[in-house]
Chain A
Amino acid sequence: MLTAAETLAMSVTDRPVTGDAESRAWLRALRSADEHTREEAVARLHALLLRAARFEVRRRAAGARHVAGPQLDDLAQQSADDALVAVLAKLDRYRGASRFTTWVYKFALLEAGVKMRRRAWQDREVALEPAGWPVLADPGPSPSRDALMGELLAAVADAIAGELTAHQRAVLVAITINGVPIDVLAERMGTTRGALYKTLHDARRRLRACLAARGLDPDLDHRGSSE
């Protein structure tokens, strides 16, 4: 009798890989017993990852003007190298739900995106105290703001100040008010993107609950994106 963990593990690793012929060919080559075939496939895979990393670095270069061209290519090379390690380590997790090339692209884009965000912020201080409060310092009604919006902003400011933990407040303010990229914040706080997003998610749920308790509608969709 298999344990639940063994059954789960089998469901992940022993399912046959479906997908297109090209993707199956990639897997065969990367798992080949023939060293030459395997090394040639790894080299092609690295070239593919480097193309994706360079694409991402170019996309983000406008936001990182202080990073010179050679540094950008170094970042792309590092991203491709790190993505190659990640892809080869997780090869058994590819199940053919997308093309193999699409699956590997996301590893290179993630590595390049994180590196570019961190490089853009490497000389900038990340304020973990509520230095961003001036953004909501005057959340009440004003001549250019309707009464409901003023009431919502005031209620949110109250809830941020009084209902969140210090950690939730620091994460919420840094990401949503001060615009600190979540990967940069994760690096400074010694945690992960996923863990920080969980904190942000919990803080947002708490804010929504506080608004609802005051009879305010936190669902802003009806105000429309067409405004």
Chain B
Amino acid sequence: MSDDRDDLRRLRGLLGPAGPELTCEACFDELDRYVELELAGADAEAAVPGMGAHLEGCPACHEDHASLRALLEDDGPPRDR
């Protein structure tokens, strides 16, 4: 089964996401709003269509997203919203 999982991971990396996706530039522009919406429990993907697909397809933007989310979680809840 691990061979199947490796093959699947390899194919997903090669083929990328199926749907429309943002560019890296648009991803950076929207990243702060997207992560705050995620952490607020809102539908971030509806607010920023194509972000999820881009984060699936672009390893660097995926890491930037994970880092910003982790940093905000480390900061704790905002004091003034």
Q: Which A residues form the contact surface with B (CB < 8 A)?
A: 20-22, 52, 55-56, 59, 97-99, 101-103, 105-106, 109-110, 113, 117, 135-136, 142, 144-146, 149, 152-153, 156, 160, 172, 175-177, 181-183, 193-194, 197-198, 200-201, 204, 207-208, 211, 218-221, 223, 227
Contacts and interface: CB of A to CB of B under 8 A. Distances in A.
A198 B10 contact: no
A113 B12 CA distance: 24
B68 interface: yes
Contacts of A223: 8
Interface in B3-53: 3-5, 7-8, 10-16, 18, 21, 23-25, 28, 31-33, 35-36
B59 A221 contact: no
Contact of B23 (A117, A145, A182, A194): A194
Nearest to B36: A98
A63 B81 CA distance: 36
A56 B59 contact: no
Contacts of A20: 78, 80-81
16 contacts: A55-B71, A98-B32, A99-B32, A102-B68, A106-B64, A106-B68, A113-B64, A113-B67, A149-B11, A181-B60, A193-B24, A197-B57, A198-B23, A207-B15, A219-B18, A220-B8
A contact face: mostly helix, strand, loop, or mixed? helix
A69 to B, nearest CB: 20
A56 B14 contact: no
Given A105-B72, A182-B59, A218-B18, A145 B3 contact: yes
A152 B11 contact: yes
Contacts of B31: 106
A218 B63 contact: no
Given A97-B33, A105-B71, A113-B64, A156 B14 contact: yes
A99 B36 contact: yes
A113 B63 contact: yes
A59 B15 contact: no
A145 B4 contact: yes
A201 to B, nearest CB: 7
Contacts of A172: 14
Max count, chain B CB within 10 A of own CB: residue among A110, A172, A218 = A110
B69 to A, nearest CB: 10
Contacts of A99: 32, 36, 78, 81
B45 to A, nearest CB: 15
A77 B74 CA distance: 20
Nearest to A55: B71
A50 to B, nearest CB: 13
B64 A110 contact: yes
B67 A220 contact: no
A176 B14 contact: yes
The 8 closest A-B pairs by CB, nearest first: A204-B16, A98-B32, A176-B13, A144-B3, A194-B24, A97-B33, A102-B32, A109-B67
